[in-house]
Amino acid sequence: RQRGVVAAASYESRKFGVHSAMPSVTAARKCPGLIFVKPRFDIYRQVSQQIREIFYQYTDLVEPLSLDEAYLDVTHNKQSETLATKIAEKIRAELRQQLNLTASAGISYNKFLAKIASDYNKPDGQFLIHPKHALAFIDKLPIHKFQGVGKVTAARFLKMGITNGAELRNCEFADLVKCFGKSGSYYYQIARGQDDREVTPHRERKSLSTESTFETDLISPDEIHTQVNEIGEELLRRLQTKDICGRTLTLKVKYADFHQITRSRSRIGSINDREVLLQLAHELISEILPVTQGIRLLGLGISNLDIHESSAGVQLTLDF
């Protein structure tokens, strides 16, 4: 504590002026009741992967920015949902239900505006910047709120008499490039609500999974096998839609007390048909039956994938 720095600050501690990168001694002085928690990076990475698996239920175009933040392009999505706001609501609900996590979301038609929007309605809300209202929003946006504008750049803008988006948009392209180099072109574009950067996934998908959380905990072996069958059928549909098969099937079980276990089984050949997948799934669940406490969540996933192609999915309307 005496020689460390704050890696992340809770919203409660921020009210006292505590923030990331602050020396621990300073943080403790600002907030006398502050509790320091050692980081658990293995757990963070595990939960981060679980978060991304929820994202992948809606789109494969997921660009992680950190363990707990990512861009998602849901223009073509897998849930037959035409409104991005509804997708954000569903993802946030699943994160709360499955992982007991709150999340904020920014929704718009490009990366710049979505990132800006994500800073509103925190820590457990979402904010939409509609294309029709984007310029009006940008006009009122303080210059230091623009993505890519740090303290030094903001100070330079202020010296130029530029305090908000409206004033930035009045700048000539040549003047911005002269003052800021290549970044000047970026500032010129975002002042007009333009950002052509695409959402680019950083890695190939390593698994495909689906899961269900139940309103009433499952106890009966019969109802547990029934749910495993339904989840297996859904996983099979997703595999067939994406023309994917794999060699390892994993069962995920979360009990009523939130204790979680997994069981896996691999084959030499691919798990590529209904009979094989469901047989393996039922064999895995049978290993843990009977249960002494209820099951609140069941999931099945395929890994060691052989990916042939992906589907386009359903395209959004412009109503967001």
- Which pLDDT tens digit goes with each residue over 129-156? 999 999 999 999 999 999 889 889 999 9
Q: Is the peptide bond before 290 cis (omega within 30 degrees of 0)?
A: yes
Amino acid at 9: A
pLDDT for 205: 66
Q: Whole-number mean pLDDT of the chain?
A: 91
Question: What is the side-by-side strand order in the sheet with 244-255?
Answer: 207-218, 295-307, 244-255, 260-271
Cα four-point dihedral sign 298, 270, 240, 78: positive
Confidence of residue 311 (pLDDT cuts 50, 70, 90): very low
Query: Which of the residues 53, 63, 69, 223 is marked catalytic?
Result: 69
Residue 35 CA: distances (Å) to CA of 6, 20, 185:
11, 14, 45
pLDDT for residue 241 is more than 80: no
Nearest partner of 68 among 7, 140, 142, judged by Cα:
7
Cα four-point dihedral sign 21, 23, 28, 29: negative
Say which residue, 242 or 297, is predicted with more confidence.
Answer: 297
Cα four-point dihedral sign 222, 224, 230, 232: negative
Cα four-point dihedral sign 40, 41, 43, 47: positive
Based on DSSP, count helices (H) and strands (E) in the chain, helices before strands: 12, 10
Say which residue, 206 or 263, is predicted with more confidence.
Answer: 263
- Which pLDDT tens digit goes with each residue over 40-53? 888 988 999 999 99
CB-count exposure of residue 143 (10 Å: 0-12, 13-18, 19+): buried
Q: State the pairing for strand pair 126-128/105-107.
A: parallel
User: Rounded to whole angstroms, how far apart are CA atoms 240 and 308?
Assistant: 10
CB-count exposure of residue 120 (10 Å: 0-12, 13-18, 19+): middle
Backbone angle region of 44, left / alpha / beta, with phi > 0 → left and psi within -120 to 50 → alpha: alpha
Active site residue 81: no
pLDDT for 312: 47
Considering the entire predicted model, what is its pTM? Answer: 0.62
Q: Which domains does the chain have, with CATH numbers?
A: 1-39 (3.40.1170.60), 41-103 (3.30.70.270), 207-307 (3.30.1490.100)
Q: State the pairing for strand pair 295-307/244-255.
A: antiparallel
Q: Which positions ≥6 away from 185 have C-beta within 8 Å?
A: 173, 176, 177
pLDDT for 204: 62
